[in-house]
Structure 1
Amino acid sequence: MSRKNLFVAGAVLALAAFPLLAGSFGIDLVTKIMIFAILALSLELLVGMTGLVCFGQAALFGLAGYAAVRLSPESESASMWWLLPASVAVAGLYALFMGALSLRTKGVYFIMVTLAFAQMAYYVVHDTPLGGGTDGIYLYFKPTLAIGSWTIADLDKPLTFYYLVLVFLAVVFAKLALLARSRFGRALAGIHASEQRMRATGYSTYPYKLAAFVISGCIAGVAGFLFAVKDGFVNPELLSWHLSGSVLIMIILGGLGHLRGAVLGAFAFTLLQELFQSEAVFGSFAKHWHLGLGLAIIACVALLPRGLIGLPAEVRRRLSGEGSVR
C-alpha cells in the first residue's frame, strides 16, 4: 500500500475513532467540517482537476439545502431515499443550466458569470417567499433512513449522523479518486494542462467541462443536503459569495490538484476560524477574528506555496538544505 493510501486510511480511521474521545461540541464541529470537506472536493474537481475557477459553488450547495427543506413535509419525516436524490437533482440541474452558459466564456469572464449566477440564486431565496427571505426556513422533521419498518439510521442522533457524513465523505473521495484515474479524468487533466492542445488532438472539450461542472454540482448538492439536515435550518447565507470564496481558500490552503489537499484545507480553514473566534484564547480580540484568520492564511500560502499537502516535502527540503550547509 502506498503512502498516500496509508494516509487516507489512517485519516478515515482517526475520524471514525474521534467520537470515542470527543464531546458533543467536538462531534458537531467535525461533522460540519466533513460536510465542508465534501463541498471542497466538489470544487477541487473543477479548479484542481479541470482548471475552472468557479465562484458559484455556494449556490449549488445552498439550493440543495433549500430543496431538502422545501420538499420535506411539515407534518412528518420524508424518506431520505427520495429526498437526497431530489435535492441533488436540483443542484445538478442548476449546475447544468449555469455551466451550459458560463462555459462559453473563459478566464476572468467565466469567474464573473458563475458569480452572477450564484448571486441570482441568492436573491431569489433572499427576496421571495420561496426561500423565506432573510429569516430562512426550518426543517421540522429530519428525514428517515429506513427499509420498511427497519430504521437503518436515526438522523436525530448526532453520533449516527456523524458516521453517516463520514461515509458520504469517504465515498465521494473514493469516487473522485477513481474518476481522476479514468479516461474521463485524464481528459480533464489534459484540458487543465492545455485546452488548445486537447482540441488539436481531436477532443471536443466543451462536453467534458460541462460534465465535470454537473458532477461537481451534484457533489455540492450532497453537501448542501447534509448541511440542511444537520442544522435543521437554511438561510440565504448558504448561497452567498462569501461561502464560495471560503471554499476556494480551503482548496488553495490544502493544495490544489490533490483530493487530500481539499479535505486538509477544509479542516485547517474551519479550525483556524474557530480558533480566532475563541474568546477563551484571544479575549476581546476575538471579535476581529477576520484579521487573525487572514494573516494566518497569508502566512500559510507564503511559507507553503504547494499548500498543506506539500508540508512534508517542504520540511524534507529544508532539512536536506541545512544538512548540505553543515
Structure 2
Amino acid sequence: MNPPASSTTSALGAAAEARAWRDSRALVRVAPLAVAAILLAVFPWVGGKFYVDLAAKIMILAIFALSLELLVGQTGLVSFGHAAFFGIAAYAAALVTPKSEAASLWLVAPAAIGAAALYALAVGALSLRTRGVYFIMITLAFAQMAYFVFHDTPFGGGSDGIYLYFRPDAAIFGWRPFDLDAGHTFYYAVLACLVGTFGLLAVMLRSRFGRALAGIRVSEQRMRAAGFDTYAYKLAAFVLAAMLAGLAGFLHALKDGYVNPELLSWHQSGAVLLMVILGGIGHLRGAVLGAFAFTLLQELFQSSALFGPLAKHWQLTLGLTMIAAVALMPRGLIGLIDRRAVR
C-alpha cells in the first residue's frame, strides 16, 4: 500500500529543510575560516614588521592552544602542565643547533617534537591513571619538575636561558626548497603549520579515534564497558597533544632565537588554558580565536599610550577582563558568534 502523497511530500520537505539547515551551519563554520586564512596569507604584504611578527607569534600560540583543546575540549582531560611540552621542544631545538652554524631542519624539528613526545609518554603513563584534580596536580608537578631542571642547572643556561643563533637549514642533499631566513618565508611556514594542525585535528576528530575520545569525555565507564581500552586512547591523545605543543615550541624558538625556563612555567600553562576557555571549550575554532583574542588583549593592555599608568598593571586588567568574559560568555567567543550567526 502506497503512502499518501501529502505524507511523502511533507517528509521530503522536512528532509530538505534539515539538509538546508546543516548546509547553512557548515557554511557559517567554514566561510570565516577560509576568509581568515586568506587575510593571514596577504597580511605580510600590507602590515608592518612589528604586526607581522605579532601575527606569527599569535599563530604559534594558536597551534599551542589547539594542542590543549585536544585534551581539554575533546578528551575531557584538564592539564595544568601543558607548557612543559612547549618549553621542552623549544629547548631541544636550541640545544641541538650548533652555535657556529645552522643545523638541518629535518634533524632539529623531529628532535624537538620527539623530545616533547617522549616526556609526554612518561608523564601520561603515570598521570592518566588518575583523574580529576589529581590529574591536574600531577601534570602541574611534572611541569614544575621540568621547569626547575632548566632553571636551576647549567644544562639549559639556568634562569638566563640560551640563544638559538641560526634557524635550521631546509636543504635536502644540497637542494634548498625554502629558506626560513628569506623574506616572509618563516611567516608562511608558521601559517602552513597552523592550517595543517587545524586540518589534522578536524579530520582526526571525525574518525573512529576522535569519536572514541568524545565517548571517553562523555562517559569513560561506558566506553570501557563497550570494550574500548580507554587508557590507551587517552595516552595516544596525550602524546599527540604534546607533539603539537612541541611543534609550537619549536616554532617559538625559531621565531625568537631565544628560550628560557618561563616557557615551561605554570604561568604559560595557565595562559594557554585561558585561551581555550576564552575562545570556547570544545571547538577547534574557539582555540584559534581564543589565542588571537587573548594575545591581542594582552598587547592592548600593555600599551601605555592607551592605558597610561594602568599599563604597568596589565595583568590585573587582563584578569578582570577574563572574569567578565567567562561570566558573560560561558560558551566562549565561538558560542557567542555561532548564536548570533544562527539568528
Smaller-chain TM-score bracket: over 0.9
SS of equivalent to 1:101: helix
Shift, 1:150, TM fit = 3.3
- Aligned counterpart, 1:223: 248
| RMSD of aligned Cα (Å) | 1.3
CA distance in 1, matches of 2:183, 2:162: 21
1:177-209 CA-partner distances (Å, limit 9, x unpaired): 011000000000000001111111111200000
- Aligned counterpart, 2:96: 71
Matched residues, percent identical? Answer: 65
Shift, 1:158, TM fit = 5.8
SS of equivalent to 1:151: coil
Task: Give yes or no for the alignment of 1:176 onto 2:188.
Answer: no
Give the counterpart letter for 1:161 in structure 2.
Answer: F
- Aligned counterpart, 1:82: 107
Give the counterpart letter for 2:241 in structure 1.
Answer: S
- Aligned counterpart, 1:148: 173
CA distance in 2, matches of 1:263, 1:131: 30
- Aligned counterpart, 1:245: 270
CA distance in 2, matches of 1:142, 1:107: 40
1:128-154 CA-partner distances (Å, limit 9, x unpaired): 111100000001211111233333222
Match of 2:296 among 271, 276, 283: 271
- Aligned counterpart, 1:194: 219
- Aligned counterpart, 1:324: none
CA distance in 2, matches of 1:163, 1:31: 9
Match of 1:256 among 281, 285, 298: 281
Match of 1:119 among 104, 121, 144: 144
Match of 2:336 among 311, 318, 325: 311
Indicate if the aligned counterparts of 1:27 and 1:158 stay in contact, CA closer than 8 A. Answer: no
Task: Give yes or no for the alignment of 1:35 onto 2:35.
Answer: no
1:276-320 CA-partner distances (Å, limit 9, x unpaired): 000111111100101111121122212211101012344468xx7
Under a length normalisation based on structure 2, what TM-score does the superposition of the two structures give? 0.90
- Aligned counterpart, 2:15: none
CA distance in 2, matches of 1:255, 1:99: 25
Match of 2:76 among 51, 54, 62: 51
Task: Give yes or no for the alignment of 1:13 onto 2:13.
Answer: no
SS of equivalent to 2:205: helix
Indicate if the aligned counterparts of 1:62 and 1:224 stay in contact, CA closer than 8 A. Answer: yes
CA distance in 2, matches of 1:301, 1:266: 15
SS of equivalent to 2:53: helix
Give the counterpart letter for 2:204 in structure 1.
Answer: L
Give the counterpart letter for 2:332 in structure 1.
Answer: G
CA pair 55-172 structure 1, distance change in 2 beyond 3 A = same
Indicate if the aligned counterparts of 1:78 and 1:144 stay in contact, CA closer than 8 A. Answer: yes
Give the counterpart letter for 1:106 in structure 2.
Answer: R
Indicate if the aligned counterparts of 1:137 and 1:233 stay in contact, CA closer than 8 A. Answer: yes
Task: Give yes or no for the alignment of 1:293 onto 2:293.
Answer: no
Give the counterpart letter for 1:297 in structure 2.
Answer: M
CA distance in 1, matches of 2:122, 2:183: 35
- Aligned counterpart, 2:133: 108
SS of equivalent to 1:66: helix
SS of equivalent to 2:171: strand
CA distance in 1, matches of 2:113, 2:242: 8
SS of equivalent to 2:73: helix
Under a length normalisation based on structure 1, what TM-score does the superposition of the two structures give? 0.95
* Larger Rg belongs to: 2
Shift, 1:24, TM fit = 0.2
Q: Which runs of 5+ in 1 are unaligned?
A: 321-326
Q: Which runs of 5+ in 2 are unaligned?
A: 1-22
Indicate if the aligned counterparts of 1:304 and 1:314 stay in contact, CA closer than 8 A. Answer: no
